[in-house]
Amino acid sequence: MAKAAPTFSLKDQLFNADSVGDLADEYAGAVPGFDRDAFHRAAVSGIADRTLMACLDWFADCLEPYLAPDFPTMADQIEAAMPPRLDPTLRDDDFGRFIHAVPGILAVRHGLEAHRERALDLLHAATQRFSMEFYIRAFLNRWPDETLARLAVWAGDENYHVRRLVSEGMRPKLPWAQKVDLTLDQTLPLLDRLQADSTRFVTRSVANHLNDIAKFDPDAVLGRLAAWDAAGDQVAKERDWMRRHALRTLIKDGHAGAMDMLGFAQDAEVDVRVDVATPRVVLGEALEFTVTLEAAQDVPVLVDYRIRFARPNGRSGEKVFKLKVGAIKAPKPLVLKKRHVLKANATTFELHPGAHGLVVQVNGVDRAETTFDIV
């Protein structure tokens, strides 16, 4: 019998004897009396029984006995142990190493109440090695006015990681992070400054931030994007990319205002037909279908499809998938073929046998629907 393939573990990839060894070396070179081997043994011993985020707290626990008890001195020691800054000449995809999140944990533990300004200085230095987006949020909640004032300064920082932290740290729905209690009047003026940034790492964060807002205030997002278009202080190609990225949730929802902003008319006269080549699909194999779109004149189209999944309790769930952004060039039809694998071992969305629905959405409007069975 063949052995099952090993399960990928992000935690084990990020935290292991080698990565903890690097952290130990950094502190051994900066903190007098630091016992590198003792720290390494203790830190590695706690990895197996902890979650990814709990490991970071554990590493901070293991470091604390070697650091000064007063926070200003501790912060000096932490900064002395930091590796070189991430390359400030890059524009994207340089997130850093999770192992270097530890300074943020210690800043919150020991600096939040009595040493706010020194702790914020520490986060400013640390975020140039690994994003402090999780840890700035504690300061935003405890000291909103003072922290926002610091973020206003950081929005003009020469280092793009610091500028990104301004947007990412304030995101209303940042994954894995504690909630921040900020209003749009507090956050949007800072996004106004960051939307014209020259680095994709920053503009992606701004677009993701707007996408978060779109989930509870679509009009605010549409209004801000329109204002940024009118201002014209971002290059057109990047502004178009940010617009599409910021509106992605509204597009999946078929929001009329988002469709209109992207130039996809919901009332466009389009005939749509969907033909399923595999009406009965074995779990683990592929649903294959063709969508044919016809129009009397040229029409820009954004085509998505939704699968309505059967559930054992009789209820159904839906998920939207992208199909095509393009145009019908009349009188030629636009023919789109899709092969959608229905994974038997999906970890995020369990599939079940039974009747399922397939809905084709064009420019945010349901245009055609059919069914298929998973067996």
CA distances, 357 to each of 274, 360, 363 (Å): 12, 10, 19
The 3-state secondary structure of the chain, one letter per residue: CCCCCCCCCHHHHHCCHHHHHHHHHHHHCCCCCCCHHHHHHHHHHCCCCCCHHHHHHHHHHHHHHHCCCCHHHHHHHHHHHCCCCCCCCCCCCCCECHHHHHHHHHHHHHHCCCCHHHHHHHHHHHCCCECCCCCHHHHHHHCHHHHHHHHHHHCCCCCHHHHHHHHHHHCCCCCCCCCCCCCHHHHHHHHHHHCCCCCHHHHHHHHHHHHHHHCCCHHHHHHHHHHHHHHCCCCHHHHHHHHHHHCHHHHHCCCHHHHHHCCCCCCCCCEEEEEECCCEECCCCEEEEEEEEECCCCEEEEEEEEEEEECCCCCEEEEEEEEEEEEECCCCCEEEEEEEECCCCCCCCCCCCEEEEEEEEECCEEEEEEEEEEC
Nearest to 126 by CA among 88, 71, 174, 86: 86
Residue 310 is predicted with a pLDDT of 85
Residue 8 is predicted with a pLDDT of 60
End-to-end CA distance of the chain: 26
d(CA 333, CA 102): 57
Residue 2 is predicted with a pLDDT of 41
Query: Residues 89-104: pLDDT tens digits?
Result: 888 877 899 999 999 9
From the number of C-beta atoms within 10 Å of its C-beta (0-12, 13-18, 19+), residue 263 rates as exposed
> Which CATH architecture is the domain 271-374 placed in?
Sandwich (2.60)
The pairing of strands 299-310 and 271-276 is: unpaired
Low-confidence ranges of the chain (pLDDT < 70): 1-8, 314, 346-348
In the chain, where does the domain assigned CATH 2.60.40.1930 lie? 271-374
Residue 5 is predicted with a pLDDT of 45
Query: Residues 162-194: pLDDT tens digits?
Result: 999 999 999 999 998 999 999 999 999 999 999
pTM, to two decimals: 0.86
Residue 348 is predicted with a pLDDT of 64
